[in-house]
A = this chain, B = another copy of it.
Amino acid sequence: MQLGLIGLGKMGGNMRERVRRAGHEVVGYDRSPDLQDVDSLESLVGALTAPRVVWVMVPAGDPTRETVEALGNLLESGDVVVDGGNSKFTDDQVHADLLATKGIGYVDAGVSGGVWGLENGYALMVGGSKEDVAKVQPIFDALKPPVDAESDSPAGQGAGFVHAGPVGAGHFAKMVHNGIEYGMMQAYGEGYELLTAVDLVEDVPGVIASWTQGTVIRSWLLDLLVRALQEDPGLDDITGWASDSGEGRWTVEQAIEHAVPMPAISASLFARFASRQEDSPTMKAVAALRNQFGGHAVQAAKAREVEDPA
């Protein structure tokens, strides 16, 4: 089938390639002339035969919203727009409502896989009506990881793709996926740090590598940690500075909204915030208080205090 694909960056470019390898025709648009198959949204829409499927793979927020609005003016009834970016799930219903006024369908697709997706396939969490999802299904099938018939995965054919619910459910599921990702990465990180903190363990990269088979904690992320330590055994060339991309925040916000206790994932999010601070106002206040009641002179530098009398 035909697919219109908007946004051909690191993710979109690889997805175009994977869909093409599956035998589909992809017409890609990107602002960058070097990446684009066509030079405008109009040309993209014109190159597709109705009913069209147009996949939007641009940054969440304004870029996605503007693209959806533009498509609303270009597409026609019966076409379907897929938002495969990292949009907040609350944006989805807005986009769906906007397109619905023109009879255009809408599907939100949370996509996981990173740079590995081209080879391994992309996991897809999808929200929308049965009809709209069905129109995109051949593309989903091309993108998703192949299910090995001999695999002992308990998920069977359900691995790598789910129609999670109505519009928004796909991005919600992807958001939670990323929240879990924060927690897992933090857990591995904390364990790694403790190993490095003691002299007793002489081969920390070896311990991490040993965990990749037979253990309860084996995972793809653990494989990646092994890779990272093979490249840089002491992680000396990297700073402990971690960005966050929105989904972790939204996960905790939703937990708060629904009164779900989320101590570990929120701790992981806060650790990222802290990793980006030059200095911590919270800890300035704590240090100031200790100075007040302990009678220490206010400290201008990170000198170790000797005694805490209170």
Contacts and interface: CB of A to CB of B under 8 A. Distances in A.
A251 B101 CA distance: 38
Contact of A285 (B189, B265, B277): B189
A261 B283 CA distance: 11
A23 interface: no
Given A271-B263, A281-B235, A217 B300 contact: no
Number of copies: 4
A285 B164 CA distance: 19
A218 B216 contact: no
B190 A264 contact: yes
Given A123-B214, A124-B210, A310-B113, A260 B194 contact: yes
A256 to B, nearest CB: 5
Interface in A169-216: 169, 172-173, 176-198, 200-203, 206-207, 209-216
A165 B292 contact: no
Contacts of A43: none
B160 A191 contact: no
A267 B187 CA distance: 11
Interface stretch (A32-40, A74-82, A219-227): A219-227
B188 A240 contact: no
A106 interface: no
A2 to B, nearest CB: 24
Interface stretch (A44-52, A64-72, A131-139, A147-155): A147-155
B286 A223 contact: no
A97 interface: no
A162 interface: yes
A112 B270 contact: no
A159 B289 contact: no
5 contacts: A114-B309, A155-B212, A189-B285, A238-B291, A242-B287
List 4 A-B pairs, minimum CB-CB distance, nearest first: A183-B187, A219-B219, A245-B308, A240-B283
